[in-house]
Amino acid sequence: MDKALSSWKIPLYLLLFGVLTIIGVFWEDFGQQKYTAGQVAGTNTNLEVFVQPETGRKPILEAINNAQTEVLVEVYLLSDREVVDALVGAAERGVGVQVMMEQHPFGGGNVNRLTADRLRSTAVEFKWTNPTFALTHEKAIIVDGQTLFILNQNLTQSAFSKNREYNIIDYNPEDVSEARQMFLADWERKRYGPKAPNLIVSPENARGKLEALINSAQQSLDVEAEIIQDRDMIKSLGVKARGIGVRVILPDFGKVAANREEAEELKQAGVEVRTLRSPYVHAKLILVDQVRAYVGSVNLSDASLDQNRELGILVSQADIMEKLSRTFENDWQKAQEI
């Protein structure tokens, strides 16, 4: 009896072990690794920053118009006519232009579908983004394999003219190569494991790196964000507020009512919270001790951290930090206490 029982138990145990091993590898690969403060120091060279709505389209249009060989675009929303015209123009003069957009953007209406219809009639190569992810909320442009735009903003008219957006131009070869490889993996519907230490990538490492960044704060912690809903991030901000000054800017509750309960919770934990009516806060910015920061597409929500395709960067370059800190401070002075 025991021998007969063993004959079917052993294969079952082996199958169960294999399944658990696969799940464990998958879980580790997608954002569960813990990071130390030393691993979130940030890039300190070869970066530029531009802020919306003050800057407008110029940096993006110049990059596309001056492209020589390749323009890769992976974006949540693409509807701005000038940007679309520039992409089509680049393709018509022989530049390889590949564009991916989210097929089902939340609240985005049919703008991407209209853009897709136009792109399909041109020399631009177009695909919808990888459906493996809940959403592709990333906003990135890679030009000639040498320049990487890590965008907070979508490529829409309102992003250029009405929103608070923080955007980084990255010339570091390691970052550009990584983003390009990730784009091509998404294009081919393949998995990609990010390796560049200063890039923030969802769903693979965003949660771990942003938690480490927040926990590394020793003197000050400033956040400007469209959405704060993730329980772990809210808890981390509250814990830091016990020892240092923590400030948070959110959009006016009339525009994003979903933040109201979380804002009150943060306030009760000792966080200073204000809301800004204009420009609309589409930002995703974390400033730590005025010496390093996060900028990118990742919102502080569980979906953004764990389920979406997102891209951001950790920065510590002095002139970038000065610009980010100054803009935050100006917004803070205009914002209203809750």
Per-residue pLDDT of the chain (338 residues; tens, 9 = 90+): 444 434 544 444 444 444 344 434 444 444 458 999 999 999 999 999 999 999 999 999 999 999 999 999 999 999 999 999 999 999 999 999 999 999 999 987 899 999 999 999 999 999 999 999 999 999 999 999 999 999 999 999 999 999 999 999 999 999 999 999 999 999 999 999 999 999 999 999 999 999 999 999 999 999 999 999 999 999 999 999 999 999 999 999 999 999 999 999 999 999 999 999 999 999 999 999 999 999 999 999 999 999 999 999 999 999 999 999 999 999 999 999 99
Please indicate, yes or no, whether residues 171 and 228 belong to a single structural domain of this protein: no
The pTM of the whole model exceeds 0.75: yes
CA diameter of the chain: 79
pLDDT at site 14: 44
Q: Which domain does 62 fall in, by range?
A: 47-187
Instruction: Name 312's Cβ contacts closer than 8 Å, sequence gap at least 6.
Output: 150, 199, 200, 201, 206, 284, 294, 295, 296, 297, 298
Please indicate, yes or no, whether residues 64 and 159 belong to a single structural domain of this protein: yes
Task: Tell me if 29 is assigned to some domain.
Answer: no
pLDDT at site 274: 99
Please indicate, yes or no, whether residues 159 and 224 belong to a single structural domain of this protein: no
Task: Tell me if 74 is assigned to some domain.
Answer: yes
Task: Tell me if 312 is assigned to some domain.
Answer: yes
pLDDT tens by residue, 141-182: 999 999 999 999 999 999 999 999 999 999 999 999 999 999
Cα–Cα distance measured from residue 98 to residue 90, given in angstroms and rounded to the nearest whole number: 11
pLDDT tens by residue, 205-220: 999 999 999 999 999 9
Please indicate, yes or no, whether residues 304 and 250 belong to a single structural domain of this protein: yes
- Assess contact for 160 and 80: CB atoms under 8 A: yes
- Assign residue 300 the CATH number of its domain: 3.30.870.10
Among candidate residues 187, 216, 233, the one where a domain is terminated: 187
Please indicate, yes or no, whether residues 95 and 156 belong to a single structural domain of this protein: yes
Cα–Cα distance measured from residue 45 to residue 170, given in angstroms and rounded to the nearest whole number: 9
Cα–Cα distance measured from residue 192 to residue 181, given in angstroms and rounded to the nearest whole number: 8
Please indicate, yes or no, whether residues 220 and 167 belong to a single structural domain of this protein: no
H helical segments located in the chain: 2-27, 58-65, 81-92, 111-119, 157-161, 173-187, 206-215, 231-240, 260-268, 302-306, 318-334
pLDDT at site 109: 83
Cα–Cα distance measured from residue 256 to residue 24, given in angstroms and rounded to the nearest whole number: 37
Q: What are the Cα distances from residue 46, in Å, to 57, 58, 150?
A: 21, 19, 13
Counting the structural domains of the chain, the total is 2
pLDDT at site 150: 99
- Assess contact for 102 and 134: CB atoms under 8 A: no
Task: Tell me if 15 is assigned to some domain.
Answer: no
Going 265 to 266 to 270 to 273, the CA torsion angle's sign is: negative
Among candidate residues 187, 214, 233, the one where a domain is terminated: 187
Please indicate, yes or no, whether residues 105 and 160 belong to a single structural domain of this protein: yes
Please indicate, yes or no, whether residues 175 and 234 belong to a single structural domain of this protein: no
The CA-CA-CA angle for residues 31, 36, 39, to 5°, reads: 85
Among candidate residues 136, 158, 187, the one where a domain is terminated: 187
User: Looking up tokens 């403060």, which residue turns up?
Assistant: 37
Please indicate, yes or no, whether residues 167 and 261 belong to a single structural domain of this protein: no
Please indicate, yes or no, whether residues 203 and 326 belong to a single structural domain of this protein: yes
Task: Tell me if 176 is assigned to some domain.
Answer: yes
Label residue 64 exposed, middle or buried (CB < 10 Å: 0-12, 13-18, 19+).
buried
pLDDT tens by residue, 280-293: 999 999 999 999 99
Please indicate, yes or no, whether residues 172 and 139 belong to a single structural domain of this protein: yes
Please indicate, yes or no, whether residues 169 and 260 belong to a single structural domain of this protein: no
Task: Tell me if 141 is assigned to some domain.
Answer: yes
Task: Tell me if 1 is assigned to some domain.
Answer: no
Structure tokens at 332: 């803070």
Label residue 184 exposed, middle or buried (CB < 10 Å: 0-12, 13-18, 19+).
middle
- Assess contact for 310 and 304: CB atoms under 8 A: yes
Task: Tell me if 20 is assigned to some domain.
Answer: no
